[in-house]
Structure 1
Amino acid sequence: MTEHRHSSHPEIVKRLRRAEGHLRSVVSMIEDGKPCLDVAQQLHAVEKAVAQAKRTLIHDHLDHCLEEAVGPLPRERRGSVDEFKEIAKYL
């Protein structure tokens, strides 16, 4: 498999490492018997961080890899590709 990197990858890694640290904190909170509301708030933050990292990765893939695979298309044939990229924002 060939190496596959984009300019957004370092930021995605940074975001995931931050989420990883928060997740470790959540585990500690549960082990320490912290209030459920506090734990739930921190879990929500972890979920959002991971979801944002995923969204960034998918959009970056669409912007670079899909464009590369499809190649240049005439404007009248780009509709499906553009629509797919737009609907992917809701992932």
Structure 2
Amino acid sequence: MMPDHPHVAIATRLKRANGHLETIIEMIEAGRPCTEIAQQLRAVEGAIENAKKALIHDHIGHSLKASGVKAQAALRDFRAIAKYL
């Protein structure tokens, strides 16, 4: 993947969320209060949700640039990925 590819930013977001998740696991193992753990889990869920939206929006934007037969294939692809919104 090229450094300026939009998915690099998405991968960076997911790596950050992964690190946060590892910290949450440590919190659980350390016996931290459930309310703190739940709050941190919600933050990770939000980060993953935002990464998913960024990926899908990038895909849609790229697909809409196509024309002709490519546009028909892009539309099929869009319908397939839209179920993850």
TM-score with structure 2 setting the length = 0.73
Which residue does 1:29 correspond to in 2? 27
Give the alignment of 1:51-90 within 5 angstroms: 51-68=49-66, 69-70=70-71
SS at match of 2:5: coil
Which structure 2 residue ranges, 5 or more long, are not aligned? Answer: none
User: Number of residue pairs matched?
Assistant: 74
The reply on whether 1:17 has 2:18 as its aligned counterpart is no
RMSD: 2.7
* 1:11-56 CA-partner distances (Å, limit 9, x unpaired): 1011000000000011110011000111011100100000000000
Greater relative CO, 1 or 2 (CA 8 Å, sep 6+): 1
Which structure 1 residue ranges, 5 or more long, are not aligned? Answer: 72-80
Q: Which amino acid aligns with 1:65?
A: S
Deviation at 1:8, TM superposition (A): 1.4
User: Identity of counterpart residues, as a percentage?
Assistant: 49
Larger C-alpha radius of gyration, 1 or 2?
Answer: 1
Deviation at 1:7, TM superposition (A): 2.6
SS at match of 1:67: coil
Which residue does 1:75 correspond to in 2? none
The separation in 2 between residues aligned to 1:21 and 1:58, in whole angstroms, is: 23
Deviation at 1:10, TM superposition (A): 1.0
